[in-house]
């Protein structure tokens, strides 16, 4: 198959939502339809240690939440689907924000009873800022929840979207009978049996036909006709260009746990979703159809297999083809690297691949060469934009609880920081190490992983900081900067890459510093010009 055909086949997307909206369950059901797995795991039932297919780490299985983005791929209708299942929990939002740099579109999952929640608002705001095409899946229809029209209104108001329903529920909660598929003009009847892989689909070309009463009954048929009439009057018709430009968001209804409404979503998605999109680098816009390979690291995962102490760097291929054993330039380090066993992911299995195309995610075994945001090319000096570190909101000193294991602790902290799990700051004054995270739950994850993956134990104590500000003086040699360093020495640290950081203890302190030292610029992300 030709290079351009391979690009046309790719669909790379992320699934985002507030925790517990059913994101991981939806991922699993998509894999089930793609034939990538044979049966669904008991996702939320923590008593069953099986866990969802996409929850790799032991701590995820214990707590029933996803803490790291997982990458899954399968083929469906001759399309190659790459899914990035992201953590919904706000304490792991940074991982999700970075993953959104690697997707071409997203599916937002919303719980029918809870509606739009806080974390969903934040994630959708990032998608809108980056003009990522969004598709909405309203989940858990078999439970009592809000009215379908009220939910769509809420999505429009709270998320600032313009929606158009592509399927619509027949009844809700206890009265839920099935879904009318507006996109394909058929009815899918709900049996409530989650073990069924494919449901009963009845084609119905005309909702005015008396056939409808025979299938769902007189009252529900009349109600459905009224609702479809209202949809035609109120909501815009689906237009693919508007969807791809981020101006229109299709909405689907279903119940992922019961494997219902997922096929409609997937069938429509493979038709309308974007193929790999061009990506902005610091020097130019890179088109996927270019012959030369370029890609960037958006995630690093240590110890996917704790027995082998391996680290995988996840690379999104932006242009050209990535070939096994071919040397590529690691732009930041300025050296050529070859990869003898690049991995692709099919459900839980990793496979070595000889060639990957734009849109694909490749896992590269890493001995410590990569950090988040690194670019690989065939020689061109460029790096992709928009993969910053965010200012942490929680800070703690990290102490070694087992002096005999200081090497293991150092190595473990070093590798976990490379993953972007948290950020390490070394105080200028006494070289003590401070760990900064976006969410407090990260400290538990770090402690757990240090002990179980590196055999090291740590304790924490509070460090009184409010925010990390990266420091950039207009002139490093002027007196003002020297004065700033003298006065703030207790609060100055270096990050992992040697950049100077001011660990401010309050918002007031940041404002005072900015007015007192106007030539010393402060930034809340590590990526600045």
Instruction: Please state, in angstroms and as integers, the Cα–Cα distance from residue 57 to each residue in 42, 61, 111, 452, 461, following that order.
Output: 16, 7, 25, 11, 26
The span from the CA of 54 to the CA of 414, in Å, is 25
Q: Are residues 93 and 114 in the same domain?
A: yes
User: Is residue 192 domain-resident?
Assistant: no
Annotated binding-site residue? 78 = no
Q: Measure the CA–CA gap between 48 and 410, rounded to whole angstroms.
A: 35
CA dist., res. 181 & res. 147, Å (int)? 18
Is residue 171 marked as binding? Answer: no
pLDDT class of 353 with cuts at 50, 70, 90: confident
Side-chain-facing half-sphere of 43: CA atoms under 13 Å: 23
How far, CA to CA in Å, does 167 sit from each of 93, 123, 135, 183, 338? 30, 24, 12, 7, 47
Residue where one domain finishes, among candidates 351, 377, 403: 377
Same domain, 86 and 26: yes
The region of weakest confidence among 90-104, 253-267, 376-390 is 90-104
For residues 505 and 306, the model is more confident at 505
pLDDT in tens, 410-429: 988 887 887 777 889 999 98
Render pLDDT for 7-59 as a digit per residue (tens, 0 to 9).
999 999 888 887 777 777 888 788 777 665 544 443 333 333 344 444 445 55
Angle at CA of residue 518, ends 512 and 521, nearest 5°: 95
Residue 307, pLDDT > 60, answer no
Question: How large is the average pLDDT for residues 436-447?
Answer: 82
Per-chain mean pLDDT for the chain: 81
Residue 213 lies in a domain: no
Is 18 assigned to a binding site? Answer: yes
Cβ–Cβ under 8 Å, residues 175 and 147? no
Question: How confident is the model over 330-340, as a mean pLDDT?
Answer: 91
302/314: higher pLDDT: 314
> Which tens digit of pLDDT belongs to each residue from 510-521?
999 999 999 988
- Is 86 annotated for ligand binding? yes
330 is in an annotated binding site: no
pLDDT of residue 69: 45
Query: Of 256, 271, 384, which Cα lies nearest the Cα of 317?
Result: 384
**pLDDT tens by residue, 152-190:** 999 999 988 999 999 888 877 777 778 888 888 777 776
140 marked ligand binding residue: yes
Give the CATH number for residue 111.
Answer: 3.40.50.300
Statement: residue 135 has pLDDT above 90: yes
Q: What is the pLDDT of residue 458?
A: 92
Q: What is the CATH number of the domain that holds 421?
A: 3.30.70.3280
**pLDDT score recorded for residue 358:** 94
More reliable by pLDDT, 85 or 369 = 369
Annotated ligand binding at 194? The verdict is no
Are 360 and 400 in a shared domain? no
| Statement to judge: residues 320 and 258 lie in one domain | no
Least trusted range by pLDDT, from 74-88, 193-207, 230-244: 193-207
In terms of domains, do 170 and 305 share one? no
In a domain, 196, yes or no: no
Q: How confident is the model at residue 194 (pLDDT cuts 50, 70, 90)?
A: very low
Indicate whether 364 and 404 sit together in one domain: no
Pair (260, 321) in one structural domain: no
Higher-confidence position of 482 and 66: 482
Q: Which of 227, 247, 272 is the last residue of a domain?
A: 272
Report the percent of the chain where pLDDT is more than 70: 83
Nearest CA to 111 among 149, 138, 148? 138
Out of 226, 243, 272, a domain closes at 272
Containing 363, the helix (H) or strand (E) segment is strand 361-365
Beta-bridge partner residues of 337: 328
pLDDT tens profile 286-305: 999 999 999 998 887 765 55
Closest CA to 141 of 116, 114, 184, 111: 111
Establish whether 87 is an annotated binding residue.
yes
Q: Work out the number of other CB atoms within 10 angstroms of the CB of residue 45.
A: 11
Assess whether 129 and 265 both reside in one domain: yes
- Give the pLDDT band of residue 70 (cuts 50, 70, 90): low
Q: What is the pLDDT of residue 47?
A: 30
Instruction: Give all strands of the β-sheet with 500-504 in edge-to-edge order.
Output: 458-462, 394-400, 433-437, 423-427, 492-494, 500-504, 467-473, 520-523
Q: Are residues 13 and 162 in the same domain?
A: yes
Question: What ranges in 211-312 are assigned the alpha helix state H?
Answer: 211-216, 218-234, 240-244, 262-272
Indicate if 266 and 285 belong to the same structural domain: no
Report the pLDDT value the prediction gives residue 182, as an integer from 0 to 100. Answer: 84
Q: Where are the alpha helices (DSSP H) in 10-57?
A: 23-33
Per-residue model confidence as pLDDT tens digits over 200-233 = 566 666 777 777 777 778 888 888 888 888 998 8
Q: Is the pLDDT of residue 90 over 60?
A: no
Same domain, 262 and 291: no
Is 141 annotated to bind a ligand? Reply is: yes
Pick the closest to residue 160 from 116, 94, 110 (CA basis).
Answer: 116
State how far the Cα of 103 lies from the Cα of 130, in Å rounded to an integer: 11
Dihedral, CA of residue 359, residue 363, residue 369 and residue 370, to nearest 10: 50
* Biggest CA pair distance of the chain: 85
User: Is 246 assigned to a binding site?
Assistant: no
Q: How many domains does the chain have?
A: 3
529 in a known ligand binding site:
no
495 assigned to a ligand binding site: no
Q: Say whether 17 counts as a known binding-site residue.
A: yes
Within-domain flag for 34: yes
- State whether 507 and 403 are in the same domain: yes
Q: Which domain holds residue 288?
A: 279-377
Alpha helices by DSSP H, listed for 134-207, are 148-159
Mean pLDDT to the nearest integer, 119-124: 81
Distance CA 168, CA 173 (A): 14
């Amino acid at each position: 198959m030709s290079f351009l055909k391979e690009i046309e086949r790719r669909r790379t997307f992320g699934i985002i939502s507030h925790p517990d909206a059913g994101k991981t369950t939806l991922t699993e059901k998509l894999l089930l339809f793609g034939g990538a797995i044979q049966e669904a795991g008991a996702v939320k039932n923590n008593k069953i240690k099986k866990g969802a297919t996409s929850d790799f780490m032991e701590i995820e299985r214990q707590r029933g939440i996803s803490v790291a983005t997982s990458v899954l791929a399968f083929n469906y209708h001759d399309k190659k689907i790459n899914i990035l299942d992201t953590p919904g929990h706000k304490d792991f939002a940074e991982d999700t924000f970075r993953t959104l740099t690697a997707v071409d579109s997203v599916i937002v999952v919303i719980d029918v009873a809870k509606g739009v929640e806080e974390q969903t608002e934040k994630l959708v705001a990032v998608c809108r800022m980056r003009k990522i095409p969004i598709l909405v899946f309203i989940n858990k229809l078999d439970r009592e929840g809000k009215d379908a029209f009220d939910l769509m209104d809420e999505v429009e108001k709270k998320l600032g979207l313009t929606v158009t329903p592509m399927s619509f529920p027949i009844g809700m909660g206890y009265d839920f009978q099935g879904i009318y598929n507006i996109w394909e003009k058929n009815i899918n009847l709900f049996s409530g049996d989650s073990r069924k892989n494919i449901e009963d689909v009845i084609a119905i070309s005309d909702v005015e036909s008396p056939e409808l009463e025979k299938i769902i009954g007189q009252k529900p048929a009349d109600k459905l006709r009224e609702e479809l009439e209202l949809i035609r009057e109120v909501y815009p018709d689906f237009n693919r260009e508007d969807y791809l430009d981020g101006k229109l968001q299709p909405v689907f209804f279903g119940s992922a746990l019961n494997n219902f409404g997922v096929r409609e979503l997937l069938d429509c998605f493979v038709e309308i979703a974007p193929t790999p999109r061009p990506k902005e680098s610091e020097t130019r816009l890179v088109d996927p159809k270019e012959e030369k390979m370029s890609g960037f690291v958006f995630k690093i995962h240590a110890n996917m297999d704790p027995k082998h102490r391996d680290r995988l760097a996840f690379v999104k291929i932006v242009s050209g083809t990535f070939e096994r054993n071919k040397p590529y330039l690691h732009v930041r380090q300025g050296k050529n690297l070859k990869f003898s066993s690049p991995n692709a992911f099919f459900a839980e299995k990793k496979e070595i691949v000889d060639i990957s195309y734009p849109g694909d995610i490749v896992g590269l075994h890493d001995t410590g060469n990569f950090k988040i945001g690194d670019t690989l090319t065939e020689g061109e000096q460029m790096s992709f934009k928009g993969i910053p570190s965010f200012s942490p909101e929680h800070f703690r000193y990290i102490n070694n609880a087992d002096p005999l294991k200081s090497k293991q602790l150092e190595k473990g902290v070093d590798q976990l920081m490379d993953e972007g799990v948290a950020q390490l700051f070394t105080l200028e004054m006494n070289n003590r190490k401070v760990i900064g995270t976006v969410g407090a739950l990260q400290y538990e994850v770090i402690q757990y992983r240090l002990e179980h993956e590196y055999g090291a134990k740590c304790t924490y104590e509070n460090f009184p900081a409010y925010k990390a500000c990266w420091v950039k003086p207009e002139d490093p040699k002027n007196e003002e900067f020297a004065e700033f360093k003298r006065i703030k020495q207790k609060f100055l640290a270096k990050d992992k890459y040697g950049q100077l950081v001011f660990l401010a203890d309050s918002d007031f302190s940041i404002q005072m510093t900015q007015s007192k030292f106007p030539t010393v610029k402060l930034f809340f992300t590590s990526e600045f010009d």
